[in-house]
Amino acid sequence: MTKKTTVVLGFLGSVLDYGGKESSRWDKWRPNLALCRFEDLLIHRLELFHENRIATTTHILCEDIIGVSPETKIHTHILKIQDPWDFEEVYGKLLDYVRQYPFDTEKEDYFVHITTGTHVEQICLYLLTETHYIPARLIQTSPPSRRRPDQEGQYRIIDLDLSKYDLIMQRIHQEQKDSVSFLKSGIDTKNLRFNHLIDQIEHVSLHSHEPILLTGPTGSGKSRLARRIYQLKKSKWQAKGELVEVNCATLKGDNAMSTLFGHIKGAFTGAIQNRSGLLRRADGGLLFLDEIGELGLDEQAMLLRAVEEKTFLPMGADKEVQSNFQLIVGTNRSLQDEVVKGQFREDLLARIDLWTFELPGLKDRREDIEPNIYYELEQIAEQQGGKISFHSRALESFLTFAISHDAIWKANFRDLNAAIKRMTTFAHNGRITLPVVQDEIERLKKSWSNGDPDDHSDVLEGLISSERLSEIDLFDQIQLREVVKVCQKAKSLAEAGKILFSESRVRKKNQNDTDRLRKYLKRFDVVISG
């Protein structure tokens, strides 16, 4: 097998590589010269970048290298960099060069020498190597020690394949696990869907500044997660400003515009002084708009521009202001449905829909109820300054109920948090007893049955007799109740039919949803007008 040619790319050091014209230059350590003098490292070709103003240094260095290593071919390249400390210019010049360079990894081994050049030039070379624009390994040289000044110093090859560095990879994985655990408030969750979701959110939070859309039912933890995302970003120096939270359901009329975008004195009746607004307050930080579906269309238009251009016009002002913030929004609605209804701007939805994460409700995460109970107990214990726990039978009883289908957790974690708070209030000597748990279970059942949309006891009342209902299988009863619920919410049977048969109607040439629905209801002697 033919041995590969060794090629080194690097900058000529205007200071380190300059040794003067006198013979004393041989007493000085010059990185690129030293690199070509190591007996165990034969450099076949040296690609040197330099500025035109150091042509003399280049000429002397090349002659000296040929003198000590005749096998080394030297190619010099003038990059014409105006400012060697300008990241954008240096990176652009180097990228243009490496894109046209005829790399041949089958025949050549490449190294990038990062000892010489400005710090900016060294960093740019590193980045181009790390992103594989340059298919190379890094090589770094260092001067000889004072004890052995006769040596050429040392060189070290740095392999950027981090998978080879077990300790580094362990620390990287642990950092990622710690970040994920932080987003979950340290709760050891078991639900696979939720855990995968948090893994994605952790990665996006640290690698993107684009808007994040959190969807899910009320009480599923959107606000708490938004706060955790902010705290995580701040701990990684990715957010300098503050976290600004606002529930859009509380913003109405002029107050909405003024609260978000600010106003100048006299902008409207009652505007007796200037107001900066929440968007300016969030500059450099994070703005969390909960229940964004409640925001008016005019405010949505202003928000879109603020997100896209980082500028907006306060009420009554004739001069724009700037604010660079990351936006996180939360909603328990389908914003796509709101667009269809004309209640939400399609262009704003397109802008905030890049990273969308749907948080599951508590009833869809029943395996996570137990660790969340322990978390709530710890939080209350910290607030009250004393440990609170369950009697074993009491905990078993509450868990059995909590993970059963009798527990619908209508308000999700808000229900669970309230239940734990009530039980701890009645805990004597820091212990929650079985009677306390039994009382709480009855309380929850009663609260959920009052106007609960999932309580089907009276859905069919007046539509079908109890005798006829008793003749229908439970499977059909459940389906029938769901159909009736859709019919009651829809404006007409035609609209209900479109909802119920939305998938199958696509494949039918002649759709008559109303007729299909009437025939289904007639099977059970149910008649609904419309």
Map out the domains of the chain as residue ranges.
5-164, 183-358, 362-449, 466-522
The pLDDT, as a whole number, for residue 391 is 92
CATH number listed for the domain at residues 362-449: 1.10.8
The pLDDT, as a whole number, for residue 161 is 64
Q: Which of 298, 220, 206 minimizes the C-alpha distance to 258?
A: 298
For residue 390, how many other CB atoms are within 10 A of its CB? 23
The pLDDT, as a whole number, for residue 140 is 92
The pLDDT, as a whole number, for residue 503 is 65
DSSP string computed for 427-475: -BTTEE-HHHHHHHHHHHHHHHHSS-TT--TTTTTTTS-HHHHHTS-HH
Give me the tens of pLDDT residue by residue for the chain, a chain 530 residues long.
Answer: 568 899 999 998 888 888 778 888 888 889 999 999 898 899 999 999 987 666 777 888 899 999 989 999 999 988 888 888 888 999 999 999 999 999 998 899 999 999 998 899 999 999 888 888 899 999 999 998 776 655 678 898 887 665 555 665 676 677 778 888 888 888 888 899 999 999 999 999 988 999 999 999 989 999 999 999 999 998 888 888 999 999 988 887 767 888 888 877 777 766 778 888 899 999 999 999 999 999 999 999 999 999 999 998 888 878 888 999 999 999 998 999 999 989 999 999 999 999 999 999 998 999 999 999 999 999 988 888 888 899 999 999 999 999 988 899 999 999 999 999 999 999 888 899 999 999 999 999 999 986 544 444 456 766 777 677 777 877 788 888 888 888 877 777 777 877 787 666 556 555 677 778 888 888 887 877 66
Helices 493-500 + 513-522 axis angle, to 10: 90
How many residues belong to the chain?
A: 530
The answer to whether the CB of 67 falls within 8 A of the CB of 22 is no
The pLDDT, as a whole number, for residue 165 is 58
The pLDDT, as a whole number, for residue 350 is 94
The pLDDT, as a whole number, for residue 188 is 87
- Look-up: residue for tokens 């606002």? 246
Burial (Cβ within 10 Å: 0-12, 13-18, ≥19) of residue 333: middle
The pTM (predicted TM-score) of the whole model is 0.62
Domains 5-164 and 183-358 share a fold: yes
The pLDDT, as a whole number, for residue 149 is 57
Q: Mind spelling out the 3-state secondary structure of 303-360?
A: HHHHHHHCEECCECCCCCEECCCEEEEEECCCHHHHHHCCCCCHHHHHHHCCEEEECC
Helices 413-425 + 369-384 axis angle, to 10: 50
Fold classification of 183-358 (topology level): Rossmann fold (3.40.50)
Distance separating the N- and C-terminal Cα atoms of the chain: 84
Residue 509, H or E segment: none
The pLDDT, as a whole number, for residue 172 is 64
The pLDDT, as a whole number, for residue 53 is 67
The pLDDT, as a whole number, for residue 454 is 44
- CA atoms of 325 and 383, how far apart (whole Å): 33
CATH number listed for the domain at residues 5-164: 3.40.50.10770
